[in-house]
Structure 1
Amino acid sequence: MIKPMVSANQKAAWVIFRHNKGAMIGLIVLCFILIMALIGPWIAPYDPAHQFNTSILVPPIWNDAGNFQYFFGTDDLGRDMLSRLLYGARLSLQLTFMVVLIAAFIGIVIGAAAAFINPTLRSLLMRIMDLLLSFPSLLLAIAIVAIIGPGLPNAIYAVVIVLVPQFVRITQSSISEELNKDYVMAAKLDGAKRLRLLTHHVWPNIIPALIVQLTFSFSTALLDIAALGFLGLGAQPPMAEWGTMLSESRAFIQFAPWTMTLPGLAIFLTVLSINLVGDGVRDALDPRLNR
């Protein structure tokens, strides 16, 4: 029996990724953020909801009026910004991972089924997916939350719905492309059933495309969750979520800019590092670069 060739050798892919300076910088920054999110509750100096009534809008320590007791200063309610950023990292990244993994599971299952169903039903399903993909992800998420109501659970549902079509499309198109290749045709002639074709022949060769899609979906999910929180449609105060922190500090941007700059910078660095890693993964797994 003719067996499929794996599209990217793991060792060669790592060599290519390692020589991508932008991807390595992104990986280092992302690992640092993940570590801070994991150990945040243990290293945060204060409870993120605790209010120091005598320390309202204290600047960070690099400001002449700063106080070393509050490394990144405090917000308008006297809450320690460093503690809220650390707790916010954990919450924001937890939500992001949960949303992406749920969307990936649903999308991959639907996409795999679509590749084997009746062509008419597949065409109808793909047109629905294309319709959903034609809307900007944030706009579609806002529309969904506006229909089902604001709140963190509904924001999670909305972002999942927004991400599912991306995984359906990439899974269906990748499987359909593989099904037309010679090694699959040979397996069919050898009597392989659909399930075996998918698990033993097609699946190993579509994993790189799914990994790339998964990587970029993290940045999309993080931005959408933060944006919904900023608009008051996602996480609600006093939750220490980066988007909600941005929303709460809008009124103080002129005379207390750190309250908005710090969570905004956290979102920017996280999304940038994810995108840099995603670019590196895409280049490393591109078969044309690994021949």
Structure 2
Amino acid sequence: MNNIPQFYQQRRIPSSAARWWKNFTDNKLATSALLLLSLIILIAIFSPFIAPYDPTLQSADYLLPPSWYEDGTSAHIFGTDALGRDLFSRLAHGAGLSLKLATFVVAIAASVGIFLGSLTALSNQFVDQITIRIMDLVLALPSLLLAVVIVAIIGPGLPNAIYAVAIVLIPHFVLVTRSAIKNEVNKEYVTAMILDGSGKIRLFCKSIFPNILPPLIVQLTLAFSTAILEIAALGFLGLGAQAPHPEWGTILSESHNNIVNAPWTVTLPGLAIFFTLLSINLVGDGLRDAMDLGN
């Protein structure tokens, strides 16, 4: 036989992100939800350009039906509200406002929650147990009720609503971060770094934190949908964004009295909230499944 050595092309090993993306795109429902969420984000970003009217501009054409109604007009695709304001323009600008507020809320909650969760996981048993009991006590209360109580204490208004929702979300990040770190500290690579003389800060930044990113990413996604819902609920109750801000909850609050004679003024904002939350939750579930399969 011919003793010519055989050469084989080395198989390229995909990165973790590539494996997650492959697993995610295999989930058709999650991929469809990502496309819908991307569309909503694009509408939010380009709302100043695609909205045909100023969202606060009032006119005499009040309670015009959407364009697909018999009495509708193409000048107002989604119709108008009780003050003659174009509903499509208000929903488009409301998408930008709601997503910005939710991003700000999640940024605050994630920063504080991850910091406290890391300190708790790397602290002694006494501090750990005290923190966990406090977080469990906060989570035992309904999130919306707790947010309403906080706003009632510090006063209504958009800034206070942001702080209230952020406080409600902090315990979720604390517990997720603590649980993820506790699962990592018992692994062999952590023990090896400790024996090598690594301090807690270097151990966390260089080794533990990169390995707890998957559950944190999923929690960020789910917290984003919770923030949108809580902000809309506070706006509906008159404790969050105030008129004439085109926030989705505020739009619902202003229009719920017209649900019988002008149902589109309530249905369309409700559908905007519904599909946004649905898409975010489906994307979050898809990310969790993709990361579980990729590990």
TM-score band, normalised by shorter chain = over 0.9
Alpha-carbon offset, residue 9 of structure 1: 1.6
Q: For 1:172-187, list aligned pairs within 5 A.
A: 172-187=178-193
| Letter of the structure 2 residue corresponding to residue 62 of structure 1 | W
Give structure 2 stretches of 5+ with no counterpart: 1-14
| Letter of the structure 1 residue corresponding to residue 31 of structure 2 | M
Distance 1:83 1:173 in 2: 44
| Letter of the structure 2 residue corresponding to residue 243 of structure 1 | G
**C-alpha distance after superposition, 1:223-256 (max 9, x if no partner):** 0000000011100111100000001001100110
Alpha-carbon offset, residue 89 of structure 1: 0.5
Question: Is 1:169–2:214 an aligned residue pair?
Answer: no
Distance 1:273 1:196 in 2: 37
Correspondence for 2:44 among 34, 37, 59:
37
Distance 2:260 2:28 in 1: 37
Alpha-carbon offset, residue 112 of structure 1: 0.8
Correspondence for 2:222 among 205, 209, 216:
216
Structure index of larger Rg: 2
**C-alpha distance after superposition, 1:114-147 (max 9, x if no partner):** 1122210121011101111111211111111111
| Letter of the structure 1 residue corresponding to residue 90 of structure 2 | R
Correspondence for 2:210 among 186, 204, 212:
204
Identity %: 57
User: Which residue is 2:129 aligned to?
Assistant: 123
Question: Is 1:103–2:94 an aligned residue pair?
Answer: no
| Letter of the structure 1 residue corresponding to residue 294 of structure 2 | N
Distance 1:96 1:201 in 2: 30
Correspondence for 1:257 among 243, 263, 283:
263
Question: Is 1:290–2:294 an aligned residue pair?
Answer: yes
User: Which residue is 2:35 aligned to?
Assistant: 28
Tell which has more relative contact order, 1 or 2 (C-alpha 8 A, sep 6+): 1
User: Which residue is 1:5 aligned to?
Assistant: none
User: Which residue is 2:154 aligned to?
Assistant: 148
Distance 1:20 1:37 in 2: 26
The 3-state SS of whatever aligns with 1:64 is coil
With normalisation by structure 1, the TM-score equals 0.95
| Letter of the structure 2 residue corresponding to residue 226 of structure 1 | A
Alpha-carbon offset, residue 290 of structure 1: 2.6
- Large movers: runs of 4+ above 6 Å: none
Correspondence for 2:236 among 222, 230, 235:
230
With normalisation by structure 2, the TM-score equals 0.93
| Letter of the structure 2 residue corresponding to residue 100 of structure 1 | V
Aligned length: 281
Range with greater deviation from structure 2 (141-150 or 76-85)? 141-150
| Letter of the structure 1 residue corresponding to residue 206 of structure 2 | H
Distance 1:188 1:115 in 2: 16
